[in-house]
Every structure is written in C-alpha cells, then in structure tokens.
C-alpha cells in the first residue's frame, strides 16, 4: 500500500508558540525535533498496518523542517523551498497511486477561535478561502484535492479545534488525535509526547487498515474556488497570475474543472500575494 503523509507544524505535540515554528527563533530546533517525532510515530503505525511506500511531504513554512537524519527509515521525504514546490502541501501527491493520506500536525482554518495559530495557507495574506461558497482551511482543501484523485484522508492530528474541523469536513469515520487543547493563540493544555506518540501510531495503523471503508472528500465539481486577501495590494499581485479572475477589491476566483490545476494556480497566486517588491518598485 502507498500512503501520502503531509506534515505541518502548528498542530504538533507540545508546539504552542511562533518561536518554535520558524528558522532563527530560539526554540525552532526544539520544534523541528518534536515535528519529526510526530511524523515518525505516524509512519511507524502505517508500516505496522502494511504500508509498503510512505511519502512524507514537509508542509510547514520553509518546508525544510523535518530532520531527515532522525526520520523513520521507511519514509521518503520531500523537503525544499516552497518556491520550488508547485503543489505546496501536496507536492508529490500525483507521483504514484496512493491508497490513503494522513495529515500530521495540522492546524485550524483562519478565524477559528480556540486554536493554536489558526490560518489558511498563509496567514499574512489570506483572510478566507472558500470552496463552493463554504470556508475551507488546509485540512478541507487538501483533502478535497486528494479526493479528486480518489485518495481518502484517513487520519488527522492537531489541536482539538483542528480535529473537530477535520470531522466536520471529512466525517466521523476518520481517525483523529488531539494532542493539545488551545487556551489562546500561543498557549495550550498539552499532553506530553510520551502519551501522544503511541496514540498517533495506533491511530495511523487503525486508519490504514480501514482505508478501504473511508470515502474520499469530493465537493461538487466544477469547483468555485475563491480567496479573500487581507489587502488590495496582495490581491493586485495575485490577480496577475494566469488562471486567476479578480472578482472584488480583495477577492479572486480560480475557475476550472481540474482541482489539481486549480490548486497549483492557488499556490502561485498566494506566493505572488506574499511577494513584497523592492522599495523602488513599491
């Protein structure tokens, strides 16, 4: 069995603050170790349940967070700059037929109360993302893109708000592991990794054994994919991307009937929105 694993950072065991999530911050190395350990716990469970190939995509921020020297030997790692990844958190999902997907360390969508660092793809630019009129975060959007390939998401780990969001979009049949409960954007009631990692391993194993019974998430097509940006300047830059339609002062739409291509255009548009020109161009 082939399994695709996308690993973010905000929803990792014990991670609660921005200083644990970004290069140059004083606790970033600690955050990387925690992230790698949760990923390993999932891979271990997938292998126990019969996975023969596990592709792990580093899906957070700089996308070079996971420590390959400490990674589970059964894993294959996609690591590298987001500028080099055409498909962001789903890079490589089209590289072979996958039987299931797992999201580790995911976070809640933008504007979610009671969550650790809630945002959608890029908190510095995206106010809200909608798929067919319904606000989606990374969990729902990524599951929908994978669903267009017939790949079910069988496990999501993160804080309690993220797990609730995952069940709301993907159904109660999926496995979830809530590793913490937020009590503020930068604070949570955490369970120690010694407790959460065995749970992640067992949940991954159960989920993969039941993968054939879990339905992919498939919103009605063609998709109406829309993004509201925080500023008009961000929308200006995003609207220059081929395949993007501007529908309002801070809103774009990405039409089409190929979710994989729409996702690629979305990521290109968000990268453009995030670009800050040199002062002499501003």
Active site residues: 119
- Output the CA torsion 118→122→128→130 (10° steps): -110
165 is in an annotated binding site: no
- What sign for the dihedral angle of Cα 225, 231, 232, 234? negative
8 is in an annotated binding site: yes
CA distances (Å), 198 to each of 79, 201, 277, in order?
Answer: 25, 5, 46
The dihedrals phi and psi of 225, each to the nearest 5 degrees, come to -105, 120
Distance CA 89, CA 59 (A): 5
17 is in an annotated binding site: no
Which of 72, 29, 68 minimizes the C-alpha distance to 47?
Answer: 72
- Output the CA torsion 128→130→135→137 (10° steps): -70
138 is in an annotated binding site: yes
107 is in an annotated binding site: yes
Non-local CB neighbours of 30 within 8 Å, separated by 6+ positions? 20
Alpha-helical runs (H) found in 49-159: 138-148
How many angstroms separate the first and last alpha carbons of the chain? 50
Distance CA 180, CA 173 (A): 21
Helix and strand counts by DSSP (H, E) for the chain? 6, 12
Tell me 25's DSSP state: S
Tell me 58's DSSP state: E
Which residues define the annotated binding site for Zn(2+)? 8, 10, 60, 107, 138
């Amino acid at each position: 069995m082939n399994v695709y694993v996308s690993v973010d950072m905000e929803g990792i065991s014990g991670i609660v603050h921005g200083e644990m999530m970004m290069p140059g911050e004083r606790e970033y190395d600690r955050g990387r170790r925690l992230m790698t350990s949760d990923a390993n716990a999932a891979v271990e469970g997938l292998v126990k349940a019969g996975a023969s190939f596990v592709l792990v995509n580093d899906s957070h921020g700089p996308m070079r967070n996971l420590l390959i020297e400490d990674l589970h030997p059964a894993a294959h790692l996609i690591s590298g700059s987001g500028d080099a990844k055409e498909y962001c958190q789903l890079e490589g999902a089209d590289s072979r037929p996958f039987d299931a997907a797992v999201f580790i360390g995911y976070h809640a969508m933008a504007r979610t109360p009671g969550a650790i660092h809630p945002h959608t793809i890029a908190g510095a630019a995206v106010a809200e993302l909608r798929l067919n009129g319904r606000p989606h975060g990374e969990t729902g959007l990524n599951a929908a893109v994978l669903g267009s390939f017939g790949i079910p998401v069988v496990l999501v780990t993160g804080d309690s708000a993220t797990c609730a969001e995952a069940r709301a979009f993907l159904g109660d049949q999926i496995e979830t592991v809530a590793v913490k409960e937020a009590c503020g954007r930068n604070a949570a009631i955490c369970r120690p990794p010694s407790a959460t990692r065995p749970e992640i391993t067992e949940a991954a194993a159960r989920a993969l054994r039941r993968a054939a019974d879990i339905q992919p998430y498939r919103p009605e097509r063609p998709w109406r994919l829309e993004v509201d940006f925080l500023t008009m300047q961000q929308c200006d830059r995003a609207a220059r991307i081929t395949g993007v339609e501007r529908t309002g002062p801070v809103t774009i739409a990405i039409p089409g009937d190929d979710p994989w291509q729409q996702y690629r255009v979305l990521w290109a548009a968000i990268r453009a929105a995030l670009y800050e020109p040199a002062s002499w161009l501003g």
